[in-house]
Amino acid sequence: MQIDVIPCVNESRYDEFINKTVIAVDVLRATSTIVTALSNGCKGIIPVETVCQAKNLQENGDLLAGERYCKKITGFDLGNSPFEFMTPEIEGKRIVMTTTNGTRALHKSGKATYILAGAMLNAAACADAVLKLKKDIVILCAGTKDEFSLEDGLCAGLIIEETKRRIELSELNDFAMAMNSAFLHNQGRIEEAILQCSNGKRLCKMGLKEDVLYCAKMNFINTVPFLSGDVMIPYEF
Amino acid sequence: MQIDVIPCVNESRYDEFINKTVIAVDVLRATSTIVTALSNGCKGIIPVETVCQAKNLQENGDLLAGERYCKKITGFDLGNSPFEFMTPEIEGKRIVMTTTNGTRALHKSGKATYILAGAMLNAAACADAVLKLKKDIVILCAGTKDEFSLEDGLCAGLIIEETKRRIELSELNDFAMAMNSAFLHNQGRIEEAILQCSNGKRLCKMGLKEDVLYCAKMNFINTVPFLSGDVMIPYEF
């Protein structure tokens, strides 16, 4: 089993995903929030790219969620903070969600055989899932505005480490080796590393330090969001 | 002083280099070879992108050097192995050189105020030079065929570490932080890491393991190639 890591969405080509399991990673905050929502009883999440699409796809009873520039979209029920997705109001509900980079990563992965959402929170569970799916793996870091984001790279490094603990990997691409090393160097100080990276600092300035600290928790949730048709649902082990 | 690292040439935009010192890095093997040549008495190296340009720019007494697919170009005096540039024949000579990725990185940096060539071999000397030049720094990893190469990233991480030993850096971009961490995780086993990466394995298969081991030597040469007009000459401290 091979793992490739791609540094950001605009670096990826659709054909790289054919016959693979793709794990889309947007630690701050889209995939952390999706993992949290599904582990709190949300029935399914429909990731879309635009506000317009979100409104068009909303059916009776669905909630709308999403952010632009880290802020909730006007008229939407929820933003993109994981803490908003820990309430009983989302239980049994479908949520149509649009975020800046995370949903782009999920859509870019369209040609993959299986598409999962990964975060620090569910890295170990992701490793369990990819072993069951028995395909080579691509970890697609969402990044920010077409640039690499450290927190996504560290998460890729953690998922690789968790997978290595379970099986012997046949190969890692150069970027995967680099991210695995970067994770191992920082594993004793992940919170600090994520607070110091560009998105971590930006969210702290906006008063969202608690979000950053929550998203930095490792292997805290066993839910793996799995794209079934257009809806992310919990992967059934 | 700030350091940004760019993962590969196609990821860079010309305007990112304005008013900066750029260090172009192609550890296997272009910049390692340029460093070696200048430290062995070569008068100057003219980096060009194509074989045709190399032939057109050759003046009386100049040597032609370069590779395609890791092999010497037919009719050229020298290939791209650093060991070819340790002979008395290059003393006092100008060399016109074309390589696949390294010279592209040097040309892409055109809008920078200062352009240096960096390698594992001269990382500490690069740190000394950038301090004298007093500009923010961009380390441009050449990569291979538009993809990130681990050895270039580890070299960027080493140059950052050497710079941090000399001054307090005001800021690193996310990719620079990741590369610095990856270097620190591997610093006790750099040879092994570079033998395992994609280019390291490819060169070993071609019987060029000695080249890889030589290029993995850290802080071994004090020469810093500095682009003056169209010619790389040793930076004068």
pLDDT in tens, B123-179: 999 999 999 999 999 999 999 988 999 999 999 999 999 999 999 998 999 999 999
Share of chain B above pLDDT 70, in %: 100
Extended strands (E) in A190-230 = 225-228
| Partner-chain residue, chosen from A175, A184, A198, that has the shortest CB–CB distance to B174 | A198
**Residue B147 with chain A: CB contacts under 8 Å:** 173-175
Nearest CA in chain A to B193: A177
Calpha distance B84→B118 (Å, rounded): 19
Residues 6+ apart with CB under 8 A from A114: A20, A21, A22, A133, A135, A226, A227
Half-sphere exposure of A140 (CA within 13 A, CB side): 32
Look at residue B69 and tell me whether its pLDDT is greater than 90.
no
Mean pLDDT of A104-121: 94
Calpha distance A203→A24 (Å, rounded): 21
Whether B150 and A174 lie within 8 Å, measured CB to CB: yes
Calpha distance A82→A78 (Å, rounded): 10
Residue A69 has a pLDDT of 82
Mean pLDDT of A196-214: 97
Residue A196 has phi, psi (to 5 degrees) of -90, -15
Calpha distance A42→A88 (Å, rounded): 9
Calpha distance B119→B216 (Å, rounded): 9
Mean pLDDT of B75-86: 96
pLDDT band for A92, please (50, 70, 90 cuts).
very high
Calpha distance B64→B73 (Å, rounded): 9
Residue B17 tokens, joined: 């280099």
* Cα separation values, B64 from B49, B80, B100, B216, B223, Å: 13, 11, 15, 25, 21
pLDDT band for A196, please (50, 70, 90 cuts).
very high
Whether A150 and B177 lie within 8 Å, measured CB to CB: yes
Mean pLDDT of A143-163: 96
Whether A193 and B177 lie within 8 Å, measured CB to CB: yes
**Residue A156 with chain B: CB contacts under 8 Å:** none
The strand order across the sheet containing A2-6 reads A71-72, A63-68, A94-98, A44-48, A231-234, A225-228, A114-118, A20-25, A136-141, A2-6, A171-172
A181, A189, A198: best mutation site toward chain B, by most B Cβ within 10 Å?
A: A181
Look at residue A26 and tell me whether its pLDDT is greater than 90.
yes
Residue B137 tokens, joined: 């720094």
pLDDT band for A28, please (50, 70, 90 cuts).
very high
Residue A171 has a pLDDT of 94
Look at residue A94 and tell me whether its pLDDT is greater than 90.
yes
> Distance (Å) from the C-alpha of residue B230 to the closest C-alpha of chain A?
31
Residue B87 has a pLDDT of 95
Calpha distance A203→B67 (Å, rounded): 47
Least confident of A151-165, B56-70, B213-227: B56-70
Residues 6+ apart with CB under 8 A from B218: B120, B121, B123, B124, B158, B190
pLDDT band for B12, please (50, 70, 90 cuts).
confident
| Partner-chain residue, chosen from A150, A175, A197, that has the shortest CB–CB distance to B148 | A175
Mean pLDDT of B75-96: 96
Mean pLDDT of A111-118: 97
> Distance (Å) from the C-alpha of residue B142 to the closest C-alpha of chain A?
13
* Cα separation values, A27 from A105, A172, B69, B121, Å: 12, 21, 38, 36
Look at residue B11 and tell me whether its pLDDT is greater than 90.
no
Supply the mean pLDDT for chain A.
95
Cα-only R_g, chain A: 16
Residue A231 has a pLDDT of 96
ipTM: 0.94
pLDDT in tens, B17-68: 999 999 999 999 999 999 999 999 999 999 998 999 999 999 999 999 998 8
> Distance (Å) from the C-alpha of residue A149 to the closest C-alpha of chain B?
6
| Partner-chain residue, chosen from B147, B149, B174, that has the shortest CB–CB distance to A197 | B174
CB B58 within 8 A of CB B95: no
Least confident of A23-32, B42-51, B104-113: B104-113
Residue A47 tokens, joined: 């990731």
pLDDT in tens, A60-75: 999 999 988 878 999 9
Calpha distance B172→B228 (Å, rounded): 27
Residue A14 has a pLDDT of 84
Look at residue B3 and tell me whether its pLDDT is greater than 90.
yes
List residues of chain B with CB under 8 Å from any CB of chain A.
7, 11, 147-150, 153-154, 173-175, 177-179, 181-182, 184-186, 193, 196-198
Look at residue A13 and tell me whether its pLDDT is greater than 90.
no
Residue A226 has phi, psi (to 5 degrees) of -130, 130
CA proximity to A29, closest of A119, A158, A148: A119
In the block, tokens 């999962």 appear at: A116
pLDDT in tens, A217-231: 999 999 999 999 999
pLDDT band for A15, please (50, 70, 90 cuts).
confident
Residue A212 has a pLDDT of 98
> Distance (Å) from the C-alpha of residue B57 to the closest C-alpha of chain A?
35
Whether A177 and B185 lie within 8 Å, measured CB to CB: no
CB neighbour class for A54 (10 Å; exposed up to 12, middle 13-18, buried from 19):
buried
pLDDT band for A7, please (50, 70, 90 cuts).
very high
Residue B103 has a pLDDT of 84
